Amino acid sequence: MSDTRTAAPDAASVLEAARLVLERDLTLALRRRGQLVQPLAFFVIVTTLFPLAISPELARLREVAAGVLWVAALLASLLALEFLFRDDAYDGTLEQYALSGQPLTGLMFAKTAAHWLLTGLPLALMAPLAALSLGAPPDAVPGIVASVAVGTIALSLIGSIGAALTLGLRRSGVLLALLTLPLSLPVLIFGARASELAIHGEPYVAPLELLAALAVLGITLAPLASAAAVRISLE
């Protein structure tokens, strides 16, 4: 402590700090499995509603399968967003992160990564099941998994901004949807297109690349915005 202007020799680097934040969120989620399963169950139920509402004919369902899949995935990932920062804001963890001397952007990125691992990735693995039940051919599975996996990265990042902006508000659920859904529109368009092409057995690389571009843009910009919003919420 002799010199306060230089960091201590055993100071943790940003990467170490981010890794711990990620590990912590994953550990917590595994101890609260109920919250983990909710978005998945929601996704399955919503995709099951469509055959009942439209028709049991697979040929007709196949026409709308990509759209159904993506709207359900969008809503399911939205459902999990409310919990992203809420508990950490409530118990003072975010405050400690903001005062840790580490770039808050990096820690926000780690939290968003945890959110994707806990909702986006399971949704991507679940999506083929839903797609098959809506009449998609088995050949479409790789394309659907890839598009949902990449698309949900962008969704988690956009959602992290919305979740940070609505921190500490009562009845934040509807507002969160109002803020997040319009911003998620490009992901919906490109994602549904990639899945649709995959279902029809056509090359789906172009929209997948556009999805990946959105994800990269999100990775660079979204943590900055959510860190700024979190700092404001602590004021």
Partner 1 sequence: MPREGLEVENLHLWRGEHHVLRGVGFALPRGGCLHVTGPNGAGKTSLLRAACGLLYPESGRLLWDGRDVHEDLPTFHSVLMYIGHEAPLKADLSARENLRYWIGTRRRIGRDTLGAALQRVGATAWSERPARTLSAGQRRRVALAALSLLLVPLWLLDEPTTNLDAEGQQLVGTLIEEHLARGGLVLAATHHELPLPRSRVQRLELTHE
Partner 2 sequence: MSWTWFHRLASPPHIYRLAQRLTPWFAWPAGALILAALYGGLVLAPPDYQQGDGFRIIYMHAPSAWMSLMVYTTMAVAAAVALIWRMKVAHAVAASCAPIGASFTIAALVTGSLWGEPMWGTWWEWDPRLTSELILLFLYLGYMGLRGAIEDPQRADRTSAVLAVVGIVNVPIIHYSVTWWNSLHQAPSVMRLGKPTLSTPMLVPLLMMMLGFTLFFVAVLLVRLRGEILVRERSASWIREVLST
**Residues engaged in binding partner 1 (CB under 8 A):** 1, 4-5, 7-8, 10-12, 16-17, 20-21, 23-24, 27-28, 31-32, 87, 91-93, 95-103, 107, 234-235
In angstroms, rounded to a whole number, what is the distance separating the alpha carbons of residues 89 and 87?
A: 5
CA distance 189 to 53: 23
Question: How many residues are there in the chain?
Answer: 235
CB of 70 to partner 2, least distance (A): 12
Q: Considering the rule CB under 8 A, would residue 179 count as an interface residue with partner 2?
A: yes
Question: Considering only 66-74, 88-96, 97-105, 225-233, which stretch makes contact with partner 2 by CB under 8 A?
Answer: 225-233
- Position among 26, 40, 189, 216 found at the interface with partner 2 (CB under 8 A): 189
- Residue 13 phi, psi dihedral angles, 5° rounding: -80, 170
Whole-angstrom distance, CA of residue 208 vs CA of residue 147: 6
193 touches partner 2 (CB under 8 A): yes
Question: Cβ 6 to partner 2, closest distance in Å?
Answer: 29
Q: Which of 233, 63, 59, 39 is nearest to 155 (CA)?
A: 39
State how far the Cα of 51 lies from the Cα of 37, in Å rounded to an integer. Answer: 23
Part in contact with partner 2 (CB under 8 A); list of ranges 59-67, 100-108, 122-130, 171-179: 171-179
* 161, 144 Cβ separation under 8 angstroms: no
Q: Which residue has the tokens 């910009």?
A: 221
**Contacted by 51, from partner 1, partner 2, none: CB < 5 to 8 Å by type:** none
What is the DSSP code (8-state) at residue 4? S
Asked if residue 10 binds partner 2 (CB under 8 A), the reply is no
C-alpha 191 chain-centroid distance: 14
CA–CA distance, 157 with 213 (Å, rounded to integer): 13
Q: Is 157 in the site for partner 2 (CB under 8 A)?
A: no
Q: How far is the CB of 118 from partner 1 (least distance, A)?
A: 14
The token pair that represents 19 in the structure block: 């890794």
Contact between 165 and partner 2 (CB under 8 A)?
yes
Q: Considering the complex, what minimum distance in angstroms separates the CB of residue 188 from partner 2?
A: 9
Residues engaged in binding partner 2 (CB under 8 A): 161, 165-166, 169, 171-172, 175, 178-179, 181-183, 185-186, 189-190, 193, 210, 214, 217, 221, 225, 228-229, 232-233, 235
